[in-house]
């Protein structure tokens, strides 16, 4: 079972990480979500938690699923999802070529 303080800490850090990767301010994000100007700051400062309803809007804002939100290994899930969508349009041969390039880059 997860401790509420650990969850609050995770949520605050993850929203800040995704927000900074998107290049937006906490104020702009708050207002875009239809909340008060300090709403996201309040979450990032661990003073409040979003409702499930607003959490879904937060995921929508980042163009990610709730699953992506909790995938801490993905720093830029919106970009990753876009790449995966492009990959689905490739032929098996193109995927093989791309796989070799990626493995070479990782060396």
Domain, as residue range, for 59: 4-106
On the CB side of 81, CA atoms within 13 Å amount to 13
φ, ψ (nearest 5 deg) of residue 81: -60, -40
Counting the structural domains of the chain, the total is 1
pLDDT tens string 53-64 = 999 999 999 999
Question: What CATH number did the domain enclosing 35 receive?
Answer: 1.10.260.40
Q: Alpha helix (H) ranges present in the chain?
A: 4-22, 26-32, 39-44, 52-62, 66-69, 77-87, 92-106
d(CA 96, CA 98) in angstroms, rounded, equals: 5
Best-predicted range by mean pLDDT (1-15, 20-34, 81-95): 20-34
d(CA 59, CA 29) in angstroms, rounded, equals: 12
Q: What is the pTM of this model?
A: 0.75
Separation in Å, CA 1 to CA 5, 6, 57, 69, 78: 12, 11, 26, 19, 29
């Amino acid at each position: 079972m997860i401790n509420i303080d650990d969850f609050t800490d995770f949520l605050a850090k993850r929203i800040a990480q995704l927000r900074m990767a998107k290049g937006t301010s906490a104020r702009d994000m708050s207002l875009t979500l239809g909340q008060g100007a300090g709403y996201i700051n309040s979450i990032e400062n661990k003073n409040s938690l979003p409702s499930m309803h607003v959490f879904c809007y937060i995921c929508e804002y980042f163009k990610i699923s709730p699953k992506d939100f909790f995938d801490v290994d993905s720093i830029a899930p919106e970009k990753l999802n876009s790449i995966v969508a492009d990959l689905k349009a490739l032929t098996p041969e193109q995927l093989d070529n791309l796989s070799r390039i990626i493995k070479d880059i990782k060396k």
